[in-house]
Chain A
Amino acid sequence: MSRIVFLEERCKGCRLCVDACPVGIISPSGRFNHQGYEVMTAGDGCTGCASCATMCPDTAIRVFRTVRAAEGGKA
């Protein structure tokens, strides 16, 4: 299971990541950052494709991909 982390204070709530996600797991969270923008949240099922981060104009998403033991991870 891969995952993404939102740097929520960098998010401007543009939702380009929502459209970009091929598995449709990103959605508005109902929470707001200090600038007043609604931040996003991600559900389960992330594939680590980084499409969301690729489209993020504010570099507000970090992507971690799960690796198998053979690739160097300790799964």
Chain B
Amino acid sequence: MSDTVARTLIKGNEAVAFGAVDAGCRCYFGYPITPQNEIPETMSRLLPAVSGHYVQAESEVAAASMLLGACAAGVPSMTSSSGCGISLMQEALSYMNGSMLPAVLVNMARGGPGLGDIGPSQGDYFQAVKGGGHGDHRNIVLAPATAQECYDFMFRAFALAFTYANPVMVLGDAIVGQIKEPVRRTPPADALSPAQLEALAAPWRVEGRGKRGPGAAPRLIKSVYLAEGALAARNRLLQDKYEAMRAEARSLSYNVDDADLVVVAYGSIARAVRSTLRALREQGVAVGLFRPVTLYPFPDEALRALAAARPGRRFLVIEQNLGQMVEDVRLALFGAAGCGAEVLWHGLMPGLLANAQMLEEPVRMALAGKEIRS
């Protein structure tokens, strides 16, 4: 059987850039930081060829601010960074949430806190899924695990950002960004065309009032609401929107039907866990994997369905941090809705390279109800 679709051997970071441009992204603003430098480097080559704009900003503060401006103009635009750079973008991210702008940010996470290291880490989970900046806000968070998903998820990121007029963060890590794999450059089924994205922005973008015909009223995009009750109304609107986003929760399950233990892992760690579980399956151990694909909204209903399908099964969260996603898993499975399922946790320290063998023991112990924390 031959695969007639051409594939390109590229890194996850390059796949992000190709995916973004193929999805219609026309402005990129960024500041170099390891381990995501192939994104700006690739963008600086791709965007001029499609009459787009690549700007190397003076800082991540400026890059995210430029993104705010480009998004306000309704043009599919993005930035990318890692670690401390993502921290610097939180100011603009909060404003873009408050102003309801369709920003796309990619975080190829590195080890922290502080300058940390340039190895893989899932230590930015809370920052990504709980808002990250000041005030109540939520970003849609997509977690790719492969270079192909880096490509595909950029289409999904722009589609979701424009559908909800809300920032979307694609959260990978040093492994996801640096891994080199064959990638098909064809739009995924859930892609929106550039024309569809433009149509979604047409009702609100700033463009110069003349574009809307003579006598058109000026438009204003802002996040400040000082009049009494105005901010409350704005936050209620945002809350309704975040509630509506719950329909976008996505997850993948592998070999869960008969599993006594379901491991919950995302991103590059989910890949390592899959290898671990494959080896254990060959030894007759009934283990499965639940992989959140959206980290916000968190796929809690799918998780509860797994608990209800086989009462008494345990869940083991494996993540590369000091314990973050485990809190969302426990919230999802809390009380009667979670059928009293037990949730265990195993953490890898940020910066380490995970492999299938090192995860075997924590999984075996969890089957027996014993937690190896890290």
Question: When A and B assemble into the complex, do they touch directly, with CB atoms less than 8 Å apart?
Answer: no
